[in-house]
Amino acid sequence: MEELEGLLELNKSEGIYIDIGTQVYLEIQGVNFSVTSVFIGMLKDEFMIITLPKRYKTVQNKLYPGNKIVIKYLFDGSVFAFQTSVIETITNPIKALALEYPKVVQKRELRIAKRNFVVIPGRVEAKKTEFPIVVFDISKNGLRFKYKDNKQNLSTLKENDVVRVYCQFPGVPEEVGALSVVRNVRREQDQLSIGTEFQDVSKTFLNPLMHFLYSIEDFS
């Protein structure tokens, strides 16, 4: 389990910013993998309540009163983290986990301009047609994809063209899309490499994007 002091020089925030229903990541002392849960509510300066984590049976014996947990979550494009301890596991009338209210909450910005080399299947709607793509570079600001240039079916995309890009993020059951503007075009053999910038991104796209970026962020 990581101690907070080791989290890439996180800066102290002024308070705890979290919405009901936020997915949180738990690093439990004595467990060598992270699990996820959902924030339910809190009483300021007293306690916090989250759902029992996924894979509960595999970590159940570590959720005893007093055991330490580091919780991380995304809020408004930033990673927040704090250390807490288990108060009690609740199984009746609801299933939940009561945690100590954190004394210190820390935050850092996701490196939104950082290039992340990935392989994400997707598709693009442009010029009254659509075609499959592979996204291989993505950040909070935009993405780059490749596709085969079939001039019989589609005129070559050019700078300032408006397209809608759909991505199939890992762990998300349905593809999500965002309006994008083409910023640069490069030809690579029989493929075109298209760099786009997101425009008016909805929460439906932003939330899975941010969770995906968080999941591949290097915290070493």
Domain boundary residue among 48, 83, 109?
Answer: 109
What is the reported pLDDT for 75? 80
What pLDDT digit, counting tens, does each position of 68-101 carry? Answer: 999 988 887 678 889 999 999 998 888 999 999 9
Q: CB of 94 within 8 A of CB of 50?
A: no
Residue 4 has pLDDT above 50, yes or no: no
Same domain? For 101 and 125 the reply is no
Residue 55 has pLDDT above 80, yes or no: yes
Domain boundary residue among 109, 128, 147?
Answer: 109
Across the strands, what pairs with 8? none
User: Which three-class secondary structure string do you get for 8-43?
Assistant: CCCEECCCCCCCCCCEEEEEECCCCCCEEEEEEEEE
Per the structure, how many domains does the chain have? 2
Q: Is the pTM of this model over 0.85?
A: no
Same domain? For 23 and 68 the reply is yes
Residue 68: domain span: 4-109
Same domain? For 11 and 98 the reply is yes
DSSP string, 54-110: TTHHHHGGG--TT-EEEEEEEETTEEEEEEEEEEEEE-SSS-EEEEEPPS--EEEE-
Same domain? For 147 and 208 the reply is yes
Same domain? For 105 and 121 the reply is no
Domain boundary residue among 109, 133, 160?
Answer: 109
Same domain? For 141 and 97 the reply is no
CATH of the domain at 144: 2.40.10.220
Q: 153 pLDDT band (50/70/90 cuts)?
A: very low
- Average pLDDT for the chain: 83
Distance CA 82, CA 107 (A): 9
What pLDDT digit, counting tens, does each position of 107-116 carry? Answer: 776 655 556 6
Of the candidates 168, 91, 89, 86, the one whose C-alpha atom is nearest the C-alpha of residue 124 is 168
Q: CB of 69 within 8 A of CB of 4?
A: no
Same domain? For 96 and 143 the reply is no
CATH of the domain at 96: 2.30.110.10
Angle at Cα 173 formed by Cα 171 and Cα 177, nearest 5°?
100
Same domain? For 102 and 132 the reply is no
Same domain? For 101 and 133 the reply is no
